[in-house]
Amino acid sequence: MKITANLLFALLAVLPVTGCNGDDGPECQTDADCTPPETCQPDNTCAYTPDPEANQAVMTFTDMEMDYPNVHGRITVDGKFDGKYLFMDYGGLIEFNQTENRTEMQLFGLITNTLLNVLVIRLPRDCPLSQHINFGTGGVAVGTLEQLELDDQGQEIDQTKLGDIVDGYIVFSEYDYNVGSPITGGGEVHFEPVN
């Protein structure tokens, strides 16, 4: 995975978002009194209680091209991972690896100006349109969720695997492995965290 200094200048710091006012959250009687994803807790305050079992995400990507030299396009990866909300919307890369005869997709999400989440997906050379390409047992797609650390120049200094994609699918509405071909699609993935 290669990240250039150009990426650093496009990174934006992600600010933490809280749905509560004050220290203990607003008072509530039912979940309807709270702002999702918060729910009404037994002490009658609104709070978010993570579900560590919900390790899944839905993804869509548009305006991408095969072997485009820079991070580009529009992506959305929305779900939960290891008890935390996972949201990625920075952009991505799709490259054809001739040596291994496969396609590698990288979808990026900003955490801070030097830290990113990266969803890495490896696919066969030829992917059918409008058909599920499955992950997991019997599937031909594999993938990981990784965290990438950059230095002040935008160069990669560390990469950590957070989890494996163990189930799910990806489906393309446009796909061709030739340079410059448009790539659009989406899917759903299920993760197993790496401890």
pLDDT tens digits, one per residue of 19-74: 333 345 678 999 899 887 788 999 999 887 656 568 999 999 999 999 999 999 99
Residue 139 has pLDDT above 50, yes or no: yes
Q: Are residues 26 and 111 in the same domain?
A: no
| pLDDT for res 188 | 94
Residue 175: per-residue pLDDT: 94
Task: Supply φ then ψ for residue 33, to 5 degrees.
Answer: -80, -5
Q: How confident is the model at residue 155 (pLDDT cuts 50, 70, 90)?
A: confident
173 falls within a domain: yes
Q: Residue 154: its pLDDT value, please?
A: 81
pLDDT beyond 80 at 8: no
Co-location of 129 and 39 in the same domain = no
- Checking if the pLDDT of 91 tops 90, the result is yes
User: Could you tell me if 131 and 147 lie in one domain?
Assistant: yes
- Claim to verify: residue 32 and residue 106 sit in the same structural domain: no
57 domain-assigned: yes
Domain assignment present for residue 180? The answer is: yes
| pLDDT, average across residues 116-130 | 93
Q: What are the pLDDT digits (tens) for 165-193?
A: 999 999 999 999 999 999 999 999 999 99
Strands (E), 41-194: 46-47, 56-65, 74-81, 84-88, 91-97, 102-112, 115-124, 133-134, 142-150, 156-174, 182-193
- Arithmetic mean of pLDDT over the chain: 84
Torsional class of 82: left (φ above 0), alpha (ψ -120 to 50), beta (otherwise): left
Domain span at residue 167 reads 50-193
Instruction: Say yes or no: 39 and 127 in one domain.
Output: no
Q: Are residues 119 and 88 in the same domain?
A: yes
pLDDT at position 48: 72
Average pLDDT, integer, range 152-170: 91
Give the predicted TM-score (pTM) of the model: 0.73
- If one counts every other C-beta atom within 10 angstroms of the C-beta of residue 25, the result is 21
Assigned domain for 129 exists: yes
Examine the domain organization and report whether 148 and 55 are in the same domain.
yes
Structure confidence at residue 169 (pLDDT): 96
Residue 6 belongs to a domain: no
Q: What integer pLDDT is reported at residue 137 of this predicted model?
A: 85
**Do 58 and 106 sit in the same domain of this protein?**
yes
11: which DSSP letter? Answer: -
Q: What's the pLDDT band for 138 if we cut at 50, 70, 90?
A: confident
User: Is 45 inside a domain boundary?
Assistant: yes
Report if residue 1 sits inside a domain. Answer: no
Does 4 have pLDDT greater than 50? no
